[in-house]
Amino acid sequence: MKTLIQLTVNGEPVEAAVDANRTLLQFLREDLELTGAKHGCGLGDCGACTVILDGKPVNSCLVLAVQANGRSVLTIEGLAENGKLHPIQQAFVDKGAIQCGFCTPGMILSAKALLDTNTKPTEIEIRTAISGNLCRCTGYQKIVQAIQDAAEAMTGKEGS
C-alpha cells in the first residue's frame, strides 16, 4: 500500500506515492535521484545521510518518507545557487576539508544547520554539532577550520 506524500525538496514542491517502509534516504536517492545524501550504515550511526528537515539536521536513513509529508527538505544538491558554491561548500574546498568526500554532504549540512542558528559558534560548539557525522579521513581539524572560516565569511557578508 502506497501513501501519497507532498513535500518541498530544495525549494521545489514534490508529490509522490511511497511505500510505508521507505526511508527518506531511499526516497531521495532512488526516487528523486538526489544521490548526494550517502548511505554509510542505514542505522543512524554515521551521519553520511544527513539532510535538513524543517531547519533541523536529521539522519534521513532513520526518517520514513511518509514522515516528511508536508515538510521541507534541504539536501546537499539544494545548497549551491546558480552554480555558485555556498560559503560553507567553498570553505570546505579551500581549507582541504574534503578527502574521500563521503562524509562531506552530511557534514556540510550539519554545519549549515548550526550556522543558521548560531552565527558565531565556538570550536566546541562546532565539534559538538558535527559529532554525529563520522569522518575517517581527515581527523576533523580541517573540517572545523572550514566551518569557522565559513562562519566568518557568512557574518561578514551580512554585516556589509
- The residues binding other proteins (CB under 8 A) are 29, 34-46, 48, 75-77, 79-80, 85, 89-90, 92-96, 98-105, 108, 126-128, 130-144
Map grid coordinates 534541504 to a residue.
74
C-alpha cell at 68: 516528511
Decide whether 40 or 159 has the Cβ nearer to other proteins.
Answer: 40
Using the rule CB under 6 A, is 42 a contact of ligand FES?
A: yes
**Quick one: 6 or 20, whose CB is closer to other proteins?**
20
Q: Which amino acid is at 20?
A: A
Question: Please, what is the minimum distance in Å from the beta carbon of residue 143 to ligand FES?
Answer: 8
Alpha-carbon distance of 20 to 1, in angstroms, equals 7
The reply to whether 16 sits near ligand FES by the rule CB under 6 A is no
Residue closest to 136 by CA, chosen among 70, 67, 38 = 38
Q: Toward other proteins, which CB reaches closer, 37 or 63?
A: 37
Taking CB within 5 to 8 Å according to partner kind, which of other proteins, ligand FES, none is near residue 22? none
SS3 at position 8: strand
Burial, 70: exposed, middle or buried (Cβ in 10 Å; 0-12, 13-18, 19+)?
A: exposed
- In single-letter form, the type of residue at position 10 comes to N
Q: Which listed option, ligand FES, other proteins, none, makes contact with residue 122 (CB within 5 to 8 Å by class)? A: none
Q: Could you say which residues in the range 90-119 bind ligand FES, by CB under 6 A? A: 98-103
Alpha helices in 8-140 (DSSP H): 24-26, 87-95, 104-117, 123-129
Q: Is 35 in the site for ligand FES (CB under 6 A)?
A: no
Of 142 and 160, nearer to ligand FES (C-beta) is 142
CA dihedral 145→96→38→50, nearest 10 degrees, is: 10
- Which residues contribute to the site for ligand FES (CB under 6 A)? 39-42, 44-49, 59, 61, 98-103, 135-138
